[in-house]
Amino acid sequence: MTKINYFNRPDKPHEECGIVGVYNPKKNVAKDLFFGLFSLQHRGQESAGIATSSGFGISLEANMGLVSQVFNEENISKLQGGIGIGHTRYSTMGGSKKNNAQPLVTSGLRGEIAIGHNGNVINASELREELAIEFGSTFERSSDTEVILEMFANAPGKNWFEISSYVMRRLKGAYSLVVMNDNELIAIRDPLGIRPLCLGKLEDGWVVASESSALDNLGAEFIREIENGETLVINSDGIKSKIWNGSSKNHKMCVFEHIYFARPDSILNGELAYETRFRLGSQLFKEHPVEADIVVGIPDSSTPHAAGLAAESKIPYSDAIIRNRYVGRTFINPDQNSRDTNVANKFNPMKEIIQGKRLIVVDDSIVRSTTIKKVIAMLRKAGAKEIHVRVASPPIKSTCHFGVDMATLSQLIAANKTIDEIRDLIQADSLAYLSVEGLEKATKSKKSEYCKGCFTGKYPIPVQLEMDKLTLEKEIKI
């Protein structure tokens, strides 16, 4: 039977993962973890898992599927305890299979621990060989997360801060982590701060999560974002924090969190993502003005950008494209015909609004050009007079190495064609992208902040040209 992935998008970067951790000794936290993961579902749809502890060992439930498919009242009730972590996954290192579903659990020098990971460790292959010699580690899975887990389970150190420092000295890449044992919750953000992580306060405990929207869903008070290189330890003594002295002075958070990944109601680098996206759209029109009758965003991810462009241009915004929200993400089948058909299943243009009008169509990004090309064809069929495409990010010319599946160089349309050639390919009347300088201005960032490698080819640490997310799987012949 042909396997169909219902949630990959053919013309968007694929999300990474979502993590959440709860420390609340006065109650069972499994339901809080479930609802936290539910609000982070947009970050990964391949698998979901929850691990909890009541002080006498770790209980785990993890499987393939959406959060609502993996969990029910029966298996949630079996996850007892006031400490727990949860994870929802999109694979960026290791295949999409059950044994790679997180959290992962193992035993080592400090007993049984569990881990959930968002990001991508680029030296995982070398580390696995080293750990096999140093600690006698054996590996059963094909993800970089298992390498991180083995390090935390066996690394030398008298406390979690020393252990974390040891791990940070050796890991290269992106990793926001939630770690737990029988009585402690640990949260770690890598020294570059590439993936987001934040802290919230519950009435009787604490919660950490990839995005603040998950805190809102649990009724937790947003306290702050966790700093790059910071380790938090939460236990019966309260909460303690330490920042590794080798951390980057300025964070290098993936700028695509602002553009697309995070929910618009999440706080990133001190600001609501919606407000940043609004400014991206505004800056886009300042750089590339054009006359038109209406502004149209490709729903739903481009709506804030389109609203910002409309406000700047004084051109009316219109919901001229309706998204069928029950389709979910665009279906990807093995054949291109199925992919094209399902773009039409997802979007439906309103002919009565579009006919005879000049349109500015706003998209947050273009990877392969598959979706935007089909959307333009639908708008032409609906009677659009002119279609001017504006993209609220620079052209994606390089692949990502830090937790985002962004296709290969040969598939990136902007890495292989000029803007004029892309315009002709998608059959737009005009096409323009936001500049890197405009991106920096809209995100209120310094040149030394944020990872913009997919636009510039310059990364915060040296990387190889392309990486295969199945490398570890091939090595252990799973």
Residues annotated as catalytic (active site), given as ranges? 17
Question: What residue has token string 């054949």?
Answer: 335
Q: Tell me the two tokens of residue 149.
A: 């887990």
As to burial, measured by CB atoms within 10 angstroms (0-12 exposed, 13-18 middle, 19+ buried), residue 195 is buried
Task: Name 469's Cβ contacts closer than 8 Å, sequence gap at least 6.
Answer: 91, 92, 93, 94, 405
Q: How many Å apart are CA 367 and CA 20, to the nearest integer?
A: 29
Q: Tell me the two tokens of residue 160.
A: 């979690």
Q: Tell me the two tokens of residue 103.
A: 């959290």
Give, for 471, the enclosing helix (H) or strand (E).
Answer: helix 471-475
CA atoms within 13 A on the CB side of 99: 9
CA atoms within 13 A on the CB side of 114: 30
Q: Do residues 168 and 246 touch, judged by C-beta distance below 8 A?
A: yes
Question: What residue has token string 């007993």?
Answer: 111
Nearest of 255, 269, 272, 263 to residue 392 by alpha carbon: 255
Q: How many Å apart are CA 117 and CA 55, to the nearest integer?
A: 23
Q: How many Å apart are CA 311 and CA 136, to the nearest integer?
A: 60
Phi/psi at 11 (nearest 5 deg)?
-130, 30
Q: How many Å apart are CA 212 and CA 107, to the nearest integer?
A: 31
Q: Tell me the two tokens of residue 229.
A: 């290189």
Helix or strand or coil: residue 379?
A: helix
Nearest of 230, 274, 269 to residue 252 by alpha carbon: 269
